[in-house]
Chain A
């Protein structure tokens, strides 16, 4: 460059800028495709995008589920005994078992075609949203803690404490409509927040690992609530020997959103509001900025003047309140006839998967929560109609999260091009580089 004449730099720059685009053109003839057509580019953009990975992950998981259903189906087993004599029977049996299960699944979660009119046919979709309500709320709680770099496995305990507090207010006080609901809701949120706050406070003050503390608090809450449920005067229904509460008073129950023939309740609106709130906190507020800074690198955050310890406490309080909302919506919305110690229904743990699938973003959690709500609603319908145990839903759900978390695996299975690998067959991705080593 320095040897060139003073007039030349412009030229040199020009040629320099021309060379890089020329490179792919000169290399392109190597692979079979010459110029990249518009359709190829469109195909590549779709094939390397995130959306296709998510769709294919769901398909793959459903495929595994289908294999499990087919292999354990009695009719398939009977037909496979004489497989070599009449292989068709086996395939028919497989088709019947799988399609029966999945159509029951669809009709239980989205739309039931066997119903005469739209109003009853759409009922499964409202069931899906009802199941999704606590999943969204609790998923938000777990996701928020994730963003601050904490792992809140204590959803079960926080839900139980919130349910107990909200339920106690809801059945033992007499307050006017609206006020009663609000007080019960606040009591539940407070209980969940405080229960999670213990873990946050201990982490901030003594450095106790939040994973241990939240796991231990799950058990403490379970036994505490179990004891209260069987102690007259606390949570146990008067005149009963069962460990169960009396039904909630009408003034405290969440109103039905779509009328009495649907189970969808006001809790769903609250969950949506929580999504917006968490989005605002994380993406728009100063507190959320500090949260994310601590989550990315607590040491750097401390150097930047953020009070890391109080962030841990605040994050756990908010996380606990959100999970508490899940407990409240269970007690005041879904199971209003009195609850026992199984009120959490595993939602505290499902919430972790929801948060992971939603990649710890509020809108992602909303989508993941609705998807998992559909799985729950459909799973129950499938169990009732086809006798397929609902546990298969757990398998499908966890496989979806696994596949979505590992896009290279899904790409390898479907032989999709990796992102960034243009028509010129660019260098292999880092993944391949490391495995080849």
Chain B
């Protein structure tokens, strides 16, 4: 096979302290595959003309000029760079060195740039508004990020959370109803968190108290919440839409100075309170997990519950409350659907976002920051296909829609590979 053994064990003759070198040919192979695909795309379906990237939005204080790239030149330059990076990575692996993360990032950026230029040049309007692309990406990522944080906490404490979809949907439904009936979006946000906790209570009760398989409970909870919200939507919400399903939406708050930075400002700092809450949540979960006593205990329970129990940590209680916390976070993410983005509840409006968030958790190797980045990647890909659909993409829109999922498969198979979650995730702790 083309894939060399991943773990080259130290041969017995070498001194015992020699560093084990992990050599994987996956990255160069994945690079090569992507490069060949790009070459086929650029050579078989070449696009002439120019691609314009509009950096500033109309209302910005600081207007930057548009970036215009020649499609042919960019394609060749990108292709050369991609080939060079592939060769570099292959040489590094041959020299028994690991391919660094930054190389993968540079590769991805070059590929996206080349692809974007190619697609925009072939579109019916050759202008791509970058600000809209990024703002859309962030907006699509918000529920995914909340969901993946929920998954990270829950799985780090040892309970597999497949119910993210259900928590998001429950949050979306409850926030719509509460915000509409009280007229206060903040109460809606709070109620969304409570709804997420309620879903988590069921998960925690069945998984921790009754030792039911956590995957079963998660899957079933998703179905339960879909059925419950859809039933109530048809029976109660739809006939009384004005009273129960017309929630006030959060206003966008511009943070002074920061929101004036070109591109970054409007994208990240001219957002609703849910998005700011998300920044706080990501930071809090990261610091909490890895730099506090709470996080240490949480991870201990998820990795080795017996050991945690021995030192006096109450395993079931730790699991119960942290799974509930995870539900609250996912519930907040659900509120973004109704109070931040769409403005009304619709049947099954989360449309699989919970499963994408689950993929982001595994893709991000159960690390809050990496999971957030994975969620952003999914959001960006979705936004990209949306924008290309608007400007009239040369590729059938279905293939654009497919792209993020194909990229994920390639990335999971090529770069992430075998990931190891928390050791005790999915196993009930039965004290003997």
Query: What is A's interface to B at a CB cutoff of 8 Å?
Result: 68, 72, 151, 153, 202, 205-209, 211-213, 215-217, 219-220, 223-224, 226-227, 231, 349, 352-353, 356, 388-389, 391-399, 401-402, 405-406, 408-409, 430-431, 433-435, 437
Most chain A C-beta atoms within 10 Å of own C-beta, residue among B212, B215, B316: B212
User: A206 to B219, Cβ gap below 8 A?
Assistant: no
Question: Interface stretch among B58-66, B229-237, B282-290?
Answer: B229-237
Chain A residues closer than 8 Å to B316, beta-carbon distance:
434-435, 437
User: A402 to B217, Cβ gap below 8 A?
Assistant: yes
Q: Does B43 contact A (CB under 8 A)?
A: no
User: A212 to B216, Cβ gap below 8 A?
Assistant: no
Most chain A C-beta atoms within 10 Å of own C-beta, residue among B221, B401, B429: B401
Chain A residues closer than 8 Å to B314, beta-carbon distance:
437
> Residues 345-375 of chain B: 1 if any A CB is under 8 Å from the residue's CB, otherwise 0?
0000000100110110011000000000000
Partner of B210 from the list A68, A151, A408 (CB cut-off 8 Å) is A408
Tell me the smallest distance from the CB of A38 to a CB of chain B, in Å: 32
Chain A residues closer than 8 Å to B414, beta-carbon distance:
206
Q: In the assembly, what is the distance between CA of A224 and CA of B396, in Å?
A: 10
User: B408 to A216, Cβ gap below 8 A?
Assistant: yes
User: A72 to B236, Cβ gap below 8 A?
Assistant: yes
Q: Does B220 contact A (CB under 8 A)?
A: yes
19 examples of A-B residue contacts, CB within 8 angstroms: A151-B215, A202-B412, A205-B413, A206-B413, A207-B419, A209-B362, A212-B363, A212-B409, A219-B352, A220-B409, A226-B398, A227-B396, A353-B220, A388-B235, A391-B231, A394-B224, A397-B223, A405-B210, A434-B430
Q: In the assembly, what is the distance between CA of A134 and CA of B221, in Å?
A: 23
User: A212 to B231, Cβ gap below 8 A?
Assistant: no
Known: A207-B417, A209-B412. A398 touches B230 (CB 8 A): no
User: B396 to A349, Cβ gap below 8 A?
Assistant: no
Chain B residues closer than 8 Å to A205, beta-carbon distance:
1, 3, 413
> Residues 44-67 of chain B: 1 if any A CB is under 8 Å from the residue's CB, otherwise 0?
000000000000000000000000
> Residues 172-196 of chain B: 1 if any A CB is under 8 Å from the residue's CB, otherwise 0?
0000000000000000000000000
User: B210 to A212, Cβ gap below 8 A?
Assistant: no
Chain B residues closer than 8 Å to A435, beta-carbon distance:
209, 316
Chain B residues closer than 8 Å to A405, beta-carbon distance:
206, 210, 212-213, 216-217, 220
User: A208 to B231, Cβ gap below 8 A?
Assistant: no
Partner of B221 from the list A209, A349, A392, A398 (CB cut-off 8 Å) is A398
Chain B residues closer than 8 Å to A434, beta-carbon distance:
209, 316, 429-431
Most chain B C-beta atoms within 10 Å of own C-beta, residue among A151, A212, A224, A395: A212
Q: In the assembly, what is the distance between CA of A175 and CA of B320, in Å?
A: 61
Q: Does B418 contact A (CB under 8 A)?
A: yes
Partner of A394 from the list B217, B227, B413 (CB cut-off 8 Å) is B227
Q: In the assembly, what is the distance between CA of A321 and CA of B186, in Å?
A: 49
Top 6 nearest A-B pairs (CB, nearest first) are A207-B418, A394-B227, A227-B398, A391-B230, A398-B224, A395-B227
Q: In the assembly, what is the distance between CA of A353 and CA of B221, in Å?
A: 10
Q: In the assembly, what is the distance between CA of A408 and CA of B212, in Å?
A: 10
Q: Does B228 contact A (CB under 8 A)?
A: yes
User: A437 to B431, Cβ gap below 8 A?
Assistant: yes
Q: In the assembly, what is the distance between CA of A216 and CA of B235, in Å?
A: 33
Among residues of A, the one whose C-beta sits closest to the C-beta of B210 is A406
Chain B residues closer than 8 Å to A399, beta-carbon distance:
224
Q: In the assembly, what is the distance between CA of A393 and CA of B226, in Å?
A: 11
Q: Does B405 contact A (CB under 8 A)?
A: yes
User: A395 to B231, Cβ gap below 8 A?
Assistant: yes
User: A395 to B224, Cβ gap below 8 A?
Assistant: yes
User: A208 to B224, Cβ gap below 8 A?
Assistant: no
User: B430 to A208, Cβ gap below 8 A?
Assistant: no
Chain B residues closer than 8 Å to A397, beta-carbon distance:
223, 227
Query: What is B's interface to A at a CB cutoff of 8 Å?
Result: 1, 3, 26, 202, 206, 209-213, 215-217, 219-221, 223-224, 226-228, 230-232, 234-236, 314, 316, 352, 355-356, 358-359, 362-363, 396, 398-399, 401-402, 405-406, 408-409, 412-414, 416-419, 429-431
Chain A residues closer than 8 Å to B232, beta-carbon distance:
72
User: A356 to B219, Cβ gap below 8 A?
Assistant: yes
Chain B residues closer than 8 Å to A396, beta-carbon distance:
227
Most chain B C-beta atoms within 10 Å of own C-beta, residue among A68, A219, A433: A219
Q: In the assembly, what is the distance between CA of A433 and CA of B206, in Å?
A: 16
Partner of A223 from the list B228, B358, B402, B408 (CB cut-off 8 Å) is B402
Tell me the smallest distance from the CB of B9 to a CB of chain A, in Å: 17
Chain B residues closer than 8 Å to A72, beta-carbon distance:
231-232, 235-236
User: B227 to A392, Cβ gap below 8 A?
Assistant: yes
Tell me the smallest distance from the CB of A399 to a CB of chain B, in Å: 7
Chain A residues closer than 8 Å to B412, beta-carbon distance:
202, 206, 208-209, 212-213, 216
Chain B residues closer than 8 Å to A209, beta-carbon distance:
362, 412, 419
Chain B residues closer than 8 Å to A227, beta-carbon distance:
396, 398-399
Among residues of B, the one whose C-beta sits closest to the C-beta of A392 is B231
User: B358 to A202, Cβ gap below 8 A?
Assistant: no
Tell me the smallest distance from the CB of B343 to a CB of chain A, in Å: 22
Tell me the smallest distance from the CB of B358 to a CB of chain A, in Å: 7
Most chain A C-beta atoms within 10 Å of own C-beta, residue among B26, B235, B363: B235
User: A402 to B206, Cβ gap below 8 A?
Assistant: yes
User: B223 to A398, Cβ gap below 8 A?
Assistant: yes
Tell me the smallest distance from the CB of B88 to a CB of chain A, in Å: 22
Q: In the assembly, what is the distance between CA of A406 and CA of B219, in Å?
A: 15
Most chain B C-beta atoms within 10 Å of own C-beta, residue among A207, A231, A398: A398
Known: A205-B3, A209-B419, A224-B398. A406 touches B405 (CB 8 A): no
Q: In the assembly, what is the distance between CA of A430 and CA of B417, in Å?
A: 38
Among residues of B, the one whose C-beta sits closest to the C-beta of A352 is B219
Known: A391-B231, A394-B224. A216 touches B210 (CB 8 A): no
User: A212 to B359, Cβ gap below 8 A?
Assistant: yes
User: B216 to A401, Cβ gap below 8 A?
Assistant: yes
Chain B residues closer than 8 Å to A151, beta-carbon distance:
215
User: B216 to A394, Cβ gap below 8 A?
Assistant: no
Tell me the smallest distance from the CB of B96 to a CB of chain A, in Å: 20
User: A430 to B430, Cβ gap below 8 A?
Assistant: yes
Tell me the smallest distance from the CB of A126 to a CB of chain B, in Å: 26
Q: In the assembly, what is the distance between CA of A207 and CA of B413, in Å?
A: 7
Partner of A202 from the list B1, B215, B409 (CB cut-off 8 Å) is B409
User: A401 to B220, Cβ gap below 8 A?
Assistant: yes
User: B206 to A406, Cβ gap below 8 A?
Assistant: yes
Besides the known contacts A227-B399, A405-B217, A437-B316, 18 further A-B residue pairs in the complex with CB atoms under 8 A apart: A68-B231, A202-B412, A205-B413, A206-B412, A209-B419, A212-B359, A213-B413, A215-B356, A215-B359, A219-B405, A223-B399, A391-B230, A391-B231, A398-B220, A398-B223, A405-B206, A406-B206, A408-B210
Most chain B C-beta atoms within 10 Å of own C-beta, residue among A68, A402, A433: A402
User: B402 to A212, Cβ gap below 8 A?
Assistant: no
Q: In the assembly, what is the distance between CA of A231 and CA of B401, in Å?
A: 16
Tell me the smallest distance from the CB of B214 to a CB of chain A, in Å: 11
Tell me the smallest distance from the CB of A330 to a CB of chain B, in Å: 20
